[in-house]
Chains A and B, each alone.
Chain A
Amino acid sequence: GESVGLHLPTLSVQEGDNSIINCAYSNSASDYFIWYKQESGKGPQFIIDIRSNMDKRQGQRVTVLLNKTVKHLSLQIAATQPGDSAVYFCAETAYNNNDMRFGAGTRLTVKP
């Protein structure tokens, strides 16, 4: 759900390492989840999505895992690069629902 007012948690990784960003969602009725990447001063950029009938989906260098039992979502980035440095948000919604809510976000910093 929304977390207005909270400071962003941070994750710092070495270039080339894998990154795991976690997100806890709030609405058990949500059945569609999206990860977004937001660079400083820009709008969020779609990375990958997953429906609730799946527990894993892979893209290019990214994997999203969904655990509906504990309402947890994670984004794995393989071989993290400096260009991956950004804030990552998970978003939850229900298919055909008008509502999309964002998590607090995580700031990923990649050290060269």
Chain B
Amino acid sequence: GAVVSQHPSRVICKSGTSVKIECRSLDFQATTMFWYRQFPKKSLMLMATSNEGSKATYEQGVEKDKFLINHASLTLSTLTVTSAHPEDSSFYICSAREDRRSFSGNTIYFGEGSWLTVV
């Protein structure tokens, strides 16, 4: 099946630094990718929709200057957490919508997630 690769799976960074998380669709093209944040024992919270070749669409309450999203190609989106603080520590998950014209719908596949710890 379709695979979405997320890297790094775990990262620890110091407060004030920036960290980049990559999301790649390995065997399909994805014009649209999504970034979620998940707190322990909670549901996934949509942060932003990443659109190839254009600006990301952020959900209400998500700071676009803090969570920079770049979707430079049909297989790669990146999330950069800038000036990270301990409260940014979380599980970040990306997903990619497979580009295909199919009556059955455009299936969305998820990456394995990235654990960010800010110390």
Contact A95 B105 (CB under 8 A): yes
- Interface on B for A, CB 8 Å cutoff? 1, 4, 6, 32, 34, 36, 39, 41-46, 49, 51, 57, 91, 93, 95, 97, 104-113, 115
Q: A42-B112, A44-B93 are in contact. Are A101 and B46 (CB under 8 A)?
A: yes
How many whole Å from B92's CB to the nearest CB in chain A?
Answer: 10
- Interface on A for B, CB 8 Å cutoff? 2-8, 32, 34, 36, 41-46, 49, 51, 89, 91, 93, 95-96, 98-105
Q: A51-B105, A98-B51, A99-B49 are in contact. Are A44 and B110 (CB under 8 A)?
A: yes
Give Cα A102 to B108, complex, Å: 12
How many whole Å from B29's CB to the nearest CB in chain A?
Answer: 16
Q: How many A-B residue pairs have CB under 8 A?
A: 75
Q: A2-B45, A5-B42, A102-B43 are in contact. Are A43 and B112 (CB under 8 A)?
A: yes
Contact A2 B46 (CB under 8 A): yes
If over half of B's interface residues share one DSSP class (helix, strand or loop), that class is named, otherwise mixed; here it is: strand
Contact B106 A3 (CB under 8 A): no
Contact B6 A43 (CB under 8 A): yes
How many whole Å from B12's CB to the nearest CB in chain A?
Answer: 16
How many whole Å from A17's CB to the nearest CB in chain B?
Answer: 24
If over half of A's interface residues share one DSSP class (helix, strand or loop), that class is named, otherwise mixed; here it is: loop
A6, A41, A101: which contacts B42 (Cβ < 8 A)? A6
Q: List 13 A-B contacts (CB under 8 A).
A: A6-B43, A41-B91, A42-B112, A43-B6, A43-B113, A44-B93, A45-B110, A46-B107, A46-B108, A49-B104, A49-B107, A91-B108, A102-B44
Give Cα A96 to B108, complex, Å: 12
Contact A98 B57 (CB under 8 A): yes
The 6 closest A-B pairs by CB, nearest first: A43-B110, A43-B113, A43-B112, A44-B110, A102-B44, A32-B105
Residues of A within 8 A of B49 (CB): 98-99
Contact A51 B106 (CB under 8 A): no
Contact B106 A96 (CB under 8 A): yes
Q: A95-B106, A96-B106 are in contact. Are A4 and B43 (CB under 8 A)?
A: yes
